[in-house]
Structure 1
Amino acid sequence: MYTLAIRRSFIAQRLPAAGGREGGLRSHHYLAEFMLEGEGLDSNGYLVDFEDLGVQVEAVIDAFRDQTLDEIDAFAGLHPSIELFSRILCQRLDDLLYAPNVAAISIKLWEDEQAWAAYDLERA
């Protein structure tokens, strides 16, 4: 099984959870690491070309970069927890990525240097 990964950092804001500490918007410097796995390589010997993957990852991240997550439709009626955010990012990359040899996509999303959540998606 081949695995490759690409990282991107970005900033987004969110409101504190209901019942949480008082205060306004919280800004997070997120680090997203997307990992792709698959058995086979393409005719160039790639699981996925990093340049193509980078374009797709940037498209996913750009929808959230410098935004207030609570105001984005993907989080309508939901608190934008890091767990939920990791799933949304992973599913969005899956929707954009044409790579028939990729069997799984995972993300590890850090909201600071010590705290992260992960989500794994098996492709059909």
Structure 2
Amino acid sequence: MTVKYTEDHEWVSVEGDTATVGITSYAAEQLGDVVFVELPEEGRNSNKGDELAVVESVKAASDVYAPVSGIVKEANSELEGAPETVNQDPEGKAWFVKMLITDPTQLDAMMDADAYKAFCADL
């Protein structure tokens, strides 16, 4: 399993041709208390950079972007009933979607954990 990160603070865990996508701990901290999550429909085709989901907190609403192009295979419906999970376990139980990756070369441009940590240190 490989985990990659975007400059928009999404994480992607890759197993075979499936990407599990969520927001990073840094993003969850910046948002504050999450009160609502809107997830995409299963079967939706998304291009890299498309709005994939919406996260609302007591501070603001924020878009979650597709870190890679693909087809939504599964949405984490548990988040809709328990949005606070995003704050409690953003890089674990609070994954947003599982996608079938249609262009795996897009993963090459993403950061590994060390590069993402350095990126966040400069913010």
Global fold match (TM > 0.5): no
Which structure has the highest strand share of the two?
2
